[in-house]
């Protein structure tokens, strides 16, 4: 699963990648820094703790992403 969300704080979108086949769980933030995780559970928890719908240009896209990621909680 990959998601690309436009945020208000940078020109580049936030990229969320959850690739279970290859064990890749990562987030590239709009400032091009990143976060890497050992499991989808860790990644979803980090997203919940650090992002909120209002951080993004289209809050509904964030909400939809979180619904898709809910299976990993």
CB atoms within 10 A of CB 3: 19
pLDDT tens profile 11-47: 899 999 999 999 999 999 999 999 999 999 999 999 9
Q: If you ran DSSP here, which 8-state letter would residue 71 be given?
A: G
HSE of 16, CA atoms in CB hemisphere, 13 A: 20
- Ramachandran category for residue 5: left, alpha or beta (phi over 0 → left; psi -120 to 50 → alpha): beta
What is the per-residue pLDDT for 73?
A: 74
Q: How confident is the model at residue 55 (pLDDT cuts 50, 70, 90)?
A: very high
End-to-end CA distance of the chain: 15
Q: Which two tokens stand for residue 27?
A: 């987030």
Per the structure, the complete domain to which residue 20 belongs is given by: 2-72
Domain count, the chain: 1
**pTM for this one?**
0.91
CB atoms within 10 A of CB 28: 16
Q: How confident is the model at residue 64 (pLDDT cuts 50, 70, 90)?
A: very high
């Amino acid at each position: 699963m990959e998601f690309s969300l436009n945020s208000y704080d940078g020109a580049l979108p936030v990229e969320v990648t959850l690739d279970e086949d290859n064990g890749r769980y990562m987030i590239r933030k709009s400032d091009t820094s990143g976060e890497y995780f050992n499991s989808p559970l860790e990644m979803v928890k980090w997203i919940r703790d650090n992002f909120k719908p209002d951080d993004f240009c289209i809050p509904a896209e964030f909400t939809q992403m979180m619904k898709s990621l809910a299976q990993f909680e």
